[in-house]
């Protein structure tokens, strides 16, 4: 079964790799360049999983996450937060806002792929 | 003594009356005892000679009067005079000893009194000496304290519990001058001055809160209670303030040593501008973040790209894009590292306490030490004296001595030279020597890695460590001069931003030590009663004078100079004055220039009245305004009210009216005339500040004279002045 994945990140350099990786995993991939675009795309066509960068222009990852979690109809959307902020406080914030997984950069692509696979297999 | 003496008259009258009475009684008795025939004989014998009898009676009164007069002089007047004279001499040694006059007893009494007075004088003199010595000691201690304070590099302000300033040092003056909104005009004197409230510069609530904290700790019996707070100023500076209490001092009963108790009488504030520190801190934060979080993202991008590249079946165009990503991210990382390195050398290094030092001073000390400790000949060559270095001079000098010592030991160098200059934003300090011909350069750079050795003392530091602390470097270079070939150790050192040094003129305009303290203010407390009930001696005055283009302010004449000085605690604060020229933006009539000496050239470029009056307004806040012929000056200020929005609604006293009140019989109450009467010299008559100063001195002299006239409070002074004749003159 093809899953739909949204990559929300303003850095093209990571998007290239993530997009390739997810396609290769057999998912259907779309890309958002900032927080507002990401939220709009999630609302228009809810993906199964979002790879969400924490620091983006417009709405930050945290704000997007909060907006998604405030919307009952989007409860099924799984959120993986990708962030350069490795502090405990940031992780706590992510958890509190309803992030399903919090991954600190730099990360191993293999582990990320596995994480995504297992999250998609595991119904919420 | 020609005065009619009632005692003599009375005495004579009494004796005369007694004689007369005796005669009459004798006559009556005779008449009663004798039979009529005998009485007849007696009257016959006396017949017609009754007048003789009366004459005899009157004549006998003359010796009586003489005797009485003698007795009065000897036994009544002489002791009375003695008493008066003795009284006069009790407090006045110059009158000389009592004259021995009058009766023998009186003379003995005078002798006795002379002896007693002699003893009294001796005692008095001794007391005076002791008091003088004690107060001299106190003065000495006070000025020593003030001198000490003025040398401190931290701002120190001492206040009483009401927040009134009792002492401040130069540094505080400079710091608060920077806080002033119009630093050019009053030089910050409107903020920092004796008797002024600290709450004009620091938030009252912050200070009160800190005071409560300190008081709580004091009550708990803490040994050295203090409190800290950080506050920001309107100009955006951050100040860290440390508060320490000034405790009540009590002489304990057992021994006379003063003992501090838990009661506070005031507080000391140590104020530090931490704006720069905070900036350095946030810069460090920024660097750290850019190193961690910034690198994380770049590493993530690179890692992901590499991992994707590892798939064997990747298309060529994708491979190219991913390689591009890696190149770009690596490039970015390199740039970031470069940036961090550059800024760390500035921001992260400040942890070691380096101090600012003038290059000239450092070299001078270095040469002295090399000569005295090593016995080497040392001299300086082209030293840029004006350069400010940021160094830890003690260890730096040790490092220099170590290197010079090694040269002396190993290369048999007998003479070194020091050179200091600036190159590419860094200072270099060269220790130069001429190596022996033939042997070449035996100096080794390895010396900078061995523990520093000076004399018999070895430190745990190396020259390298010392330079590390400075973020500097060290190497050996050679140069070929005109004839000879020389070597030198080059030490790179950081430069300091040039120090803000206050022009000495700011402090030295008066020869005496600035009045930066007045501990008498400790005793004064908040005035609860209205100003009108306040004794004249306890008020704070701003005595001012204005020079104007002419005498008709309503007709367009403008202020061209304002001078003011304050009186606190009955003392004229000659160092906290306000002296400002004002651009009138109109012609200054030549007639006036002859009087005040202010030419159009002098006021050009000076601030206009809208700029000067706010500073002057804060300078005289919470004080009583005083001027000579105040009506005129107040009129000038009032005319500007609309323009500046500033109301000078302070209570006002006029020295002209007060002088008229005290010396009602004098003809002139012009400033010169009054000054002459009080023996004051005017320095700079018809300059605003000169006139203000002398007016202030006059007021100080007038206050006790007013008290003699029963004028004690501000209210009484204002009322009495209103009633004098001059009050009716209106401008």
Integer Cα distance of B279 and B356 in angstroms: 19
CA distance B190 to chain A (A): 48
Q: Which residues contact B720 (CB under 8 A, 6 or more apart)?
A: B661, B706, B709, B711
In this predicted structure, what is the pLDDT of residue B527? 47
B311 touches chain A (CB under 8 A): yes
In this predicted structure, what is the pLDDT of residue B506? 39
pLDDT in tens, B85-102: 887 777 777 777 888 877
Mean pLDDT calculated for residue range B132-154 = 81
Coil/strand/helix, residue A32? strand
Judged on CB neighbours under 10 Å (0-12, 13-18, 19+), B679 is exposed
Integer Cα distance of B282 and B279 in angstroms: 5
Check pLDDT > 80 for residue B355: no
Q: Which of residues 285-304 of B touch A (CB under 8 A)?
A: 292-294, 296-297, 299-304
**Side-chain-side CA neighbours of residue B515 (13 Å):** 20
pLDDT in tens, B157-178: 999 888 888 888 878 887 777 7
Comparison of pLDDT for B283 and B634, the residue scoring more: B634
% of chain B with per-residue pLDDT over 70: 86
H helices of B571-652, in order, are 590-596, 600-603, 609-619, 630-638, 641-644
ipTM value for the complex: 0.83
- Provide the pLDDT confidence category of residue B528 given band limits of 50, 70 and 90: very low
Integer Cα distance of B122 and B116 in angstroms: 10
Pairwise CB contact (< 8 Å): B325 & A105: no
pLDDT in tens, B680-713: 877 777 788 889 999 999 999 899 888 888 899 9
Integer Cα distance of B709 and B695 in angstroms: 20
List the structure tokens of B94.
């110059």
> Which residues of chain B lie closer than 8 angstroms to A108, CB-CB?
303, 307
pLDDT in tens, B564-606: 999 988 888 887 888 889 999 888 888 888 888 888 888 888 8
pLDDT in tens, A85-96: 777 777 888 888
pLDDT in tens, B224-273: 778 888 777 766 677 888 888 888 776 555 555 555 566 788 899 988 87
How many Å is the maximal CA-CA distance in chain B?
Answer: 190
Nearest Cβ partner of B300 from A20, A105, A110? Answer: A105
Comparison of pLDDT for B326 and B186, the residue scoring more: B326
Q: Could you say which of B209, B380, B686, B712 is catalytic?
A: B686
In this predicted structure, what is the pLDDT of residue B390? 84
Comparison of pLDDT for A26 and B481, the residue scoring more: A26
Cα angle B312, B318, B323 (rounded to 5 degrees) comes to: 90
Integer Cα distance of B263 and B247 in angstroms: 6
Cα angle B347, B353, B357 (rounded to 5 degrees) comes to: 100
> Which residues of chain B lie closer than 8 angstroms to A18, CB-CB?
304
Asked about B410 being catalytic, the answer comes back as no
Q: Minimum mean pLDDT among A54-63, B296-305, B516-525: which range?
A: B516-525
Q: Which residues contact B329 (CB under 8 A, 6 or more apart)?
A: A13, B298, B299, B301, B302, B305
pLDDT in tens, B19-78: 889 888 988 888 888 888 888 887 777 776 777 878 888 888 888 888 988 888 888 888
């Amino acid at each position: 079964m093809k899953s739909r994945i949204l990559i929300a990140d303003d850095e093209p350099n990571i998007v290239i790799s993530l997009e390739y990786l997810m396609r290769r995993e057999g998912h259907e991939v779309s890309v958002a360049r900032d927080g507002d675009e990401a939220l709009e795309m999630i609302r228009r066509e809810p993906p199964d999983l979002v790879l969400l960068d924490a620091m983006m222009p417009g709405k930050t990852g945290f704000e997007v996450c909060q907006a998604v979690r405030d919307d009952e109809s989007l409860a099924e959307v799984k959120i993986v937060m990708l962030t350069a902020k490795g502090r405990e406080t940031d992780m706590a914030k992510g958890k509190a806002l309803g992030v399903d997984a919090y991954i600190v950069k730099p990360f191993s692509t293999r582990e990320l792929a596995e994480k995504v696979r297992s999250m998609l297999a595991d119904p919420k | 003594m020609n005065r009619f003496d009632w005692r003599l008259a009375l005495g004579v009258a009494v004796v005369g009356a007694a004689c007369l009475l005796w005669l009459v009684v004798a006559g009556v008795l005779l008449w009663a005892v004798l039979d009529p025939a005998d009485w007849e004989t007696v009257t016959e014998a006396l017949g017609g000679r009754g007048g003789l009898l009366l004459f005899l009676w009157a004549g006998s009164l003359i010796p009586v009067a003489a005797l009485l007069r003698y007795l009065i002089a000897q036994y009544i007047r002489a002791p009375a005079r003695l008493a008066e004279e003795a009284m006069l001499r009790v407090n006045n040694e110059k009158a000389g000893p009592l004259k021995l006059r009058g009766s023998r007893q009186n003379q003995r009494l005078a002798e006795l009194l002379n002896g007693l007075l002699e003893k009294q004088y001796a005692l008095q003199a001794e007391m005076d000496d002791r008091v003088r010595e004690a107060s001299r000691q106190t003065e000495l201690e006070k000025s020593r304290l003030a001198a000490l304070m003025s040398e401190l590099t931290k701002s120190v302000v001492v206040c009483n519990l009401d927040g009134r300033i009792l002492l401040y040092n130069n540094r505080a003056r400079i710091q608060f001058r920077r806080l002033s909104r119009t630093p050019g005009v009053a030089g910050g004197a409107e903020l920092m001055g004796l008797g002024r409230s600290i709450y004009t510069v620091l938030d009252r609530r912050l200070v009160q809160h800190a005071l409560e904290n300190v008081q709580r700790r004091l009550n708990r019996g803490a040994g050295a209670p203090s409190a800290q707070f950080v506050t920001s100023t309107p100009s955006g500076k951050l100040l860290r303030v440390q508060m320490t209490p000034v405790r009540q001092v009590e002489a304990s009963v057992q021994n006379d040593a003063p003992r501090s108790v838990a009661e506070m009488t005031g507080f000391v504030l140590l104020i530090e501008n931490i704006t720069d520190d905070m900036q350095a801190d946030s810069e460090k934060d920024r660097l750290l973040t850019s190193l961690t979080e910034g690198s994380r993202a770049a590493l993530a991008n690179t890692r992901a790209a590499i991992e994707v590249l590892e798939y064997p079946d990747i298309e060529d165009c994708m491979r190219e894009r991913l390689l591009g990503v890696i190149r770009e991210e690596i490039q970015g990382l390199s740039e970031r590292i470069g940036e961090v390195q550059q800024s760390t050398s500035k921001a992260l290094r400040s942890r070691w306490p380096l101090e600012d030092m003038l290059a000239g001073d450092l070299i001078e000390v270095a040469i002295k030490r090399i000569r005295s400790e090593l016995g080497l000949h040392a001299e300086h060559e082209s030293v840029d004296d004006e350069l400010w270095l940021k160094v830890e001079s003690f260890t730096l000098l040790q490092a220099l001595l170590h290197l010079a010592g090694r040269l002396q030991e190993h290369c048999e160098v007998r003479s070194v030279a020091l050179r200091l200059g600036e190159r590419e934003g860094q200072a270099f300090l060269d220790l130069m020597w001429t190596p022996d011909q033939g042997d070449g350069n035996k100096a080794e750079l390895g010396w900078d890695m061995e523990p520093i050795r000076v004399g018999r003392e070895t430190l745990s530091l190396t020259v390298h460590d010392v330079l590390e602390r400075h973020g500097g470097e060290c190497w050996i270079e050679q140069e070929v001069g005109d004839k000879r070939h020389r070597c030198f150790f080059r030490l790179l050192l950081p430069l300091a931003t040039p120090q803000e040094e206050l022009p000495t003129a700011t402090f030295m305009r008066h020869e005496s030590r600035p009045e930066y303290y007045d501990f008498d203010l400790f005793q004064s407390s908040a005035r609860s009663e209205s100003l009108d009930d306040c004794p004249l001696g306890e008020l704070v005055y701003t005595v001012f004078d204005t020079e104007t283009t002419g005498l008709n302010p309503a007709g367009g004449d403008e202020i061209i100079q304002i001078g003011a000085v304050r009186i606190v605690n009955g003392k004229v604060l000659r160092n906290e004055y306000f002296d400002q020229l004002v651009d009138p933006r109109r012609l200054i009539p030549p007639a006036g220039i002859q009087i005040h000496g202010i030419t159009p050239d002098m006021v050009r470029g000076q601030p206009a009245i809208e700029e000067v009056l706010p500073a002057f307004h804060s300078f005289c806040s919470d004080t009583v305004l005083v001027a000579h012929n105040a009506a005129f000056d107040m009129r000038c200020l009032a005319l500007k009210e609309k323009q500046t929005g500033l109301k000078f609604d302070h209570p006002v006293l006029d020295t002209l009216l007060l002088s008229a009140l005290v010396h009602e019989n004098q003809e002139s109450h012009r400033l010169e005339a009054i000054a002459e009467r009080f023996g004051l010299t005017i320095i700079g008559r018809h300059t605003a500040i000169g006139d203000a100063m002398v007016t202030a001195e006059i007021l100080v002299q007038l206050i006790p004279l007013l008290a003699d006239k029963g004028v004690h409070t501000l209210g009484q002074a204002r009322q009495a002045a209103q009633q004098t004749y001059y009050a009716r003159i209106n401008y």
